[in-house]
Structure 1
Amino acid sequence: MMPTVHEDGKHRGRTRYTLVETEHGHAWGVCAGAEGLFGEPRRGAYELFGWVPQTEVRSWVGSRVWLVPEDKALDPWLLEDAESLGQQPGTDSLVLTGLDDYEGPPEGFRGPVRVHDKHRWLGSCREIARALPADQPALPLVLRGLAPSDQLRAALAKGTRRALDLEQATLEIQDDHGEPLTDRLLWARVGAWRPSSYGTDLFDLEFDGGLFAPVPEYARPVWERWFAGPPDTPGAWAGFDTRLRGAWHDLVRERGCRRTHSDRPAGHSYELDGQHITDEPGLYLAIGEAVNGPGGYFGGCLDALVDCLRGTFGYTAPATLLWRDAATAREHLSRVLAPEGQSYDLFAEVLDVLTEGGMNVTLA
């Protein structure tokens, strides 16, 4: 008998992945494996002509790199998870790539820009142009060992192009304990399906990879750690570099924002271990663990921190916070750059936000 998935969700805790129809919320199926979950997202590329460096540009440039036009009438734009392809041979140009879905230069812009990574100016160029990245075919997303719902089984039996276009769906992802971890949106267009080696009456379904943004390959070790379940000791992220700390915080945020928190009563005393706060992800990871324990979430930027202090994220004002090794954060975060390039003190601003939110902070 073919295994089925019912909309009551009884099967969801037994497997890693559940494919859910977005509009009405019914499950298309559950499975244990997802090939193609990790890969290389499509990145924008920019060539910076006449590059004048102010500091060394590494292969990984930064999680948030701002390109600031010399023309003050234009806003800066953002490259997330920016990488450098280095100086082009025989030229004075530098090529940067990054995720730029939400920001970008005006159409046809080719003016001079300055570039910073939120902490220092990296350099400037006399002209910038969007480059065409190498054509890289998108690998399919394959759900292996899928137990289909009645609706999906009927769609596969029909087999028409229209029936196999499942439209927008969510791939819900659980950890080894069956607890929700995160999810990913995709346009679920079935390209192929076949019987699965995972078990009788299970299927391997292949979806068009061009309609799914994979998790960056570099984040795989962080995800694999979280697949085993949330950390049981604080500071499990401390040995990671800034890039992997950012990937760790992404999962902390996505998991934390879908969980129900029990707010502690007013007057609670918190303690923050500040010895590893050498970057912005480390700052918010340490604050999250101080309030909500190992793997806990309590903001990822100043605005999110304000929201968390207002309640429903484990905290009730007023309270006290003992911030140990505060000098580490002060050393690394007292001078950061806003998108336009102005310097500000992030460490001081976090203290102000905590104080205004009813947290009496003692630095040690």
Structure 2
Amino acid sequence: MKYLLVQEDEDGEERLWGRCAGIEGLFVEPVPLPREVLTLRGYRPGGLLGDVLAGPGGSLQGLGDMCVEVWDDETPVQWFTLVDAVVVAHRPHPADPERYDVVLGAGVRCEESFFGLPATPRFELFAGTASAVTGAGRCSAVDGLFEERADPAPVPIELIGCEPAEPLLAALRRPRRSERAWAYLLVLDRRGAVMASRTVGLAVTGARPSVLGGALVDITLTDGGADRPPPAARPVWAQWYQGPPAAPNLWAPYGSRGRAAWLDLSTRDWRVPAPRPDRSGGEYHLDGRFVTDVPGLYCALAEALLGPGRYFGREWNALKDCLGGGFGVAPPFTLTWHDSEVARRALADVLIDPESGLSYFEEIVRLLECCGVTVVLR
């Protein structure tokens, strides 16, 4: 049995709902969002979007994912992601020729909302990836942003070869009682240790005798959850199923999405069990031969400081948190970065803050040094 289905009760105690041998539909691409048309009013250029508008043929150029932060005075209160944003058109803003009204096509996802719309909101724009986000200017309003949007249709998941425990048996007898319930799908490695956890809905669409035979049951859950790994993660999970990595650079053959999946699995290193006492001082050696993208940088850095398969951040802010202590190693210490020119070249065009003019590589080196790390580039 490779998977456990568990649910927390009101006291935080986990109850076993069942065990199963396989999952069909665990690795899926995210459901694409419907495309919408939005207008950035009074846009003051900056960053990637500003560069696109300043260049020739700015319309119909892709921007990747963009983030819109809604600010109330000095505090951001709402976040939206404009997925796969494309410039449709732009023209000078009527009240200020130095600003623009920019029409974008994008999928819109609301990330978080703490308050209602401020009386005088400010809109800050960011572009890039989850691991390398840069400022992209600001605007006075975004037409079409605050619309009601239906949740995407759930994507089912199949539990293959399931041994239901009593709570799941009760749900099979009276499926309507579990329509709004959620549980954790715990993924086990071959030793029985939990290597990953995903949230799934407990609404049951159907159940039947298992294709594996015996008294096992195959169960269809209506909603397999929105945080499932992409197909690119499948070989990474298969490797981790054999147990935590014990040799260096096993992440190196994967592309950026596979390396991101590697980092995702490594996050359990500091959550379970409790964090270890920090070590300070000494010298660590970072093998930079395979640092050709941002996820690879964090794979290599964690491996240098803590060993294969360990976690020490997956983006700039997370690395800053790790350097503050509580993750096994804390400054001061010396980091000797071998073959550093590989990362310098690969990350030369990846920016965190366009105003600083520093590449992602240079920003990481500066962060390490500001936090008390002596960085030796070789």
TM-score > 0.5, shorter chain as reference? yes
Counterpart for residue 101 of structure 1: 111
Please state how far the C-alpha of 1:247 moved relative to its aligned partner: 2.8
**Which among 81, 84, 99 is matched to residue 79 of structure 1?**
81
**Which among 249, 253, 260 is matched to residue 263 of structure 2?**
249
Query: How do 1:77-226 and structure 2 match up within 5 A?
Result: 77=79, 79=81, 82-83=83-84, 95-97=105-107, 100-102=110-112, 116-117=127-128, 118=132, 129=144, 137-156=153-172, 158-159=173-174, 161-162=176-177, 164-165=178-179, 167-209=181-223, 212-226=226-240
Q: Does 1:37 align with 2:48?
A: no
Q: Does 1:299 align with 2:313?
A: yes
Distance in 2 (alpha carbons) for counterparts of 1:48 and 1:239? 40
Counterpart for residue 5 of structure 1: none
- Distance change (3 Å), C-alpha of 1:307 and 1:68: closer
How many residue pairs match? The answer is 340
Q: Does 1:17 align with 2:3?
A: yes
Distance in 2 (alpha carbons) for counterparts of 1:115 and 1:46? 19
Native 8 Å contact 1:334 1:348 kept in 2: no
Distance in 1 (alpha carbons) for counterparts of 2:367 and 2:331? 13
Please state how far the C-alpha of 1:78 moved relative to its aligned partner: 5.1
Unaligned segments of structure 1, at least 5 residues:
1-14
Native 8 Å contact 1:181 1:255 kept in 2: no
- Distance change (3 Å), C-alpha of 1:205 and 1:342: farther
Please state how far the C-alpha of 1:312 moved relative to its aligned partner: 4.2
Q: Once the two structures are superposed, what CA deviation does each residue of 1:179-235 show, in whole Å capped at 9, x if it has no partner?
A: 221101233222322221224222122212276543334433433343343334333
Q: Secondary structure at the match of 2:205?
A: strand
Please state how far the C-alpha of 1:120 moved relative to its aligned partner: 7.4
Distance in 1 (alpha carbons) for counterparts of 2:349 and 2:322? 23
Please state how far the C-alpha of 1:268 moved relative to its aligned partner: 3.3
Distance in 2 (alpha carbons) for counterparts of 1:115 and 1:359? 29
RMSD value, Cα: 4.5
Native 8 Å contact 1:171 1:183 kept in 2: yes
Q: Secondary structure at the match of 2:203?
A: strand
Distance in 2 (alpha carbons) for counterparts of 1:133 and 1:299? 33
Native 8 Å contact 2:198 2:225 kept in 1: no
- For 1:96, give the aligned amino acid: A
Q: Does 1:61 align with 2:64?
A: yes
- For 1:102, give the aligned amino acid: E
Structure 2 length-normalised TM: 0.69
- Distance change (3 Å), C-alpha of 1:160 and 1:121: closer
Distance in 2 (alpha carbons) for counterparts of 1:212 and 1:244? 19
Distance in 2 (alpha carbons) for counterparts of 1:149 and 1:209? 20
Q: Once the two structures are superposed, what CA deviation does each residue of 1:238-276 show, in whole Å capped at 9, x if it has no partner?
A: 344434332332222245433456557543321012233
Distance in 1 (alpha carbons) for counterparts of 2:279 and 2:126? 46
Identity %: 31
Distance in 1 (alpha carbons) for counterparts of 2:237 and 2:64? 22
Distance in 1 (alpha carbons) for counterparts of 2:252 and 2:276? 26
- For 1:116, give the aligned amino acid: A
Please state how far the C-alpha of 1:322 moved relative to its aligned partner: 0.8
- Distance change (3 Å), C-alpha of 1:35 and 1:255: farther
Distance in 2 (alpha carbons) for counterparts of 1:98 and 1:175? 36
- Distance change (3 Å), C-alpha of 1:272 and 1:67: same
Distance in 2 (alpha carbons) for counterparts of 1:310 and 1:113? 28
- For 1:66, give the aligned amino acid: C
Distance in 1 (alpha carbons) for counterparts of 2:157 and 2:266? 24
Q: Secondary structure at the match of 1:231?
A: coil
Distance in 1 (alpha carbons) for counterparts of 2:238 and 2:330? 33
- Distance change (3 Å), C-alpha of 1:353 and 1:198: same
Counterpart for residue 309 of structure 1: 323
Native 8 Å contact 2:175 2:204 kept in 1: no
Structure 1 length-normalised TM: 0.71
Please state how far the C-alpha of 1:324 moved relative to its aligned partner: 1.4
- For 1:33, give the aligned amino acid: G
Please state how far the C-alpha of 1:49 moved relative to its aligned partner: 6.6
Please state how far the C-alpha of 1:168 moved relative to its aligned partner: 2.5
Native 8 Å contact 1:79 1:103 kept in 2: no
Native 8 Å contact 2:206 2:219 kept in 1: yes
